[in-house]
Structure formats: C-alpha cells, structure tokens
Amino acid sequence: MATWLERMAWDLAFAQRAERTQKVYLADVQAFIAFHGKSLEDLGQEAVRVWIEHLIAAGTSPSRLRQHMSALVWLYRKTLGKPEAVSFFSWPKDPLLLPVVLSVEEVASLLEAVPSATYRMLFCTMYATGMRISEACQLQVKDLDSTRGVLRVLGKGSRERQVALRDSLLETLRTYWREMRPEPPWLFTGRLGNPLHPDQARKVFKEAVTVTGLIKRATPHALRHTYATLLLEQGTDLRVIQTLLGHKTIRSTERYLHVSTHLIHATPDLLGLLPP
C-alpha cells in the first residue's frame, strides 16, 4: 500500500507539475509533519493553523509562505481529499516592487564578465528572447526554426509559445555551436552532457554581477524584465509582449508600463508650465 508521500508524488507527477515544484511541495509537507512530530492522520486544520502561524512568526517571506500553503493545499485537497483543513487560507501578497531593468550597457558588461562561453550564450539568448531561465536551460536544437525565424519555447504548465529568432541571435548560436559542440539534443550543456541547471546558472550570473560592481539587485530574471521593457519602449503592443512572455493575464505584463523610461519621460514637464 502506497504511503501518503508516494501518493502525493504520483499526484504531482500525474498533473505534470514542474520537477522543481514537485520537490518543493514534498519537502514542505515533510517539514510540516516533522514540526508536529505526529502521523499525518492526526493533523487537521488546527495543526495547519499552528504551522502557518509558526512560519509567519519566523519571518517567512510572502512568496515562500505561498509555497508552503500551496503544498498543503495540494496535500489536503488532492491527495487526502480533506479540503476543509485548508479552507481558511487567505493568500499573502508581496510588497509591490518594480521589476529590475538593466540598461543595454549593463547587459553588455554582465555578459562580458561571464567567463564560460556556454553560460554567456545562455544569458545572451535569454536577453534576446525574454525566456525564463528554466525555459532557456531546456532548449533543444529542434526548437530553432531558422526557416520561419522563430524559436519554440516550452513554458510553465507545458504551454508552448514562439518568440522571434533574429538573424543576429541565430548567427551567434551557430558560432557557439561550432565552437562548444554541446551534447545533442540540448542547446546548452555542461561537462557531463546534461542540460545546464537553473540554480547553477543563477550562481554564475550572481558572480558576474559582483565582478561588474552592479548595485542593482539583478538576477537572470532581470534579463526577461529588460527584454519586455525594451520591446515596450520600441513601440511593441502590450498584448504582443504578453504573448511573447507567456503571461496568462495582461496584468502581469502591465507592470512594465511603470518602468519604461521612455514613457516616463514622455510625460509633460509640469514645472516648466509655471511662469518664471
């Protein structure tokens, strides 16, 4: 007879949740049970409340708290069929922070500071296409359609989308392929021939940020923010940007309106309207 952990793992895999999501959910539920030191059958809504209160008191960030809560929702609703245990949940919100956007010069400096040609090409591709780091690490050669000038991206929830494969990116990728010879079918591989891992890529990017002395809180995701903002400033329609980024709703895309310097500077100079 399967344990609850095995059943939950099967449920997550059956729903085709991302591998990272599966690991986080299972680890969070195990931490919840270890905290109480009891069997799962003895843990109901009151135990869930105590756990959430503990996480809040420990200073858990809103985003991390949502992960813990999502893991419990999956456990009680999907695996155990006891939705009443998590029916009281209200989802915490993040403080409203604007996306970190880099200048073209800052992007160039960061790419130059990456010593590995493979990681440099990975980040260059992210900047040119707006892909998430997890999406870029899983790129395969067959995803490049040079005839149509598009690049196929497998995004969250296994949703496919296409982005433009410009000649400049295509030629750079071809040069990279000839020199580095990544292990097929992957486009970006490490020493063992496996696709690059997002966590290791984040470490490489962080080191490049340190080397350049950049004071912005930049992560690889800033390349995606920069891509979207530059498209907006070049006049690309917001709906088109939404599609290119793979956003479910336009609200996720609209936040780039708040960081576009072109749009900000296009507003009138009210002080100049005053008489001398």
Note whether 223 and 114 are within 8 A (CB): no
Instruction: Give dist(CA 208, CA 55) in Å, integer.
Output: 33
Backbone φ and ψ of 97, nearest 5°: -110, 135
| Residues annotated as part of the active site | 132, 156, 221, 224, 247, 256
Contacts of 4 (CB under 8 A, 6+ apart): 40, 75, 79, 80
The interaxial angle of helices 62-73 and 45-57, nearest 10 deg, is: 160
Backbone φ and ψ of 238, nearest 5°: -60, -35
Instruction: Give dist(CA 144, CA 240) in Å, integer.
Output: 20
Note whether 221 and 133 are within 8 A (CB): yes
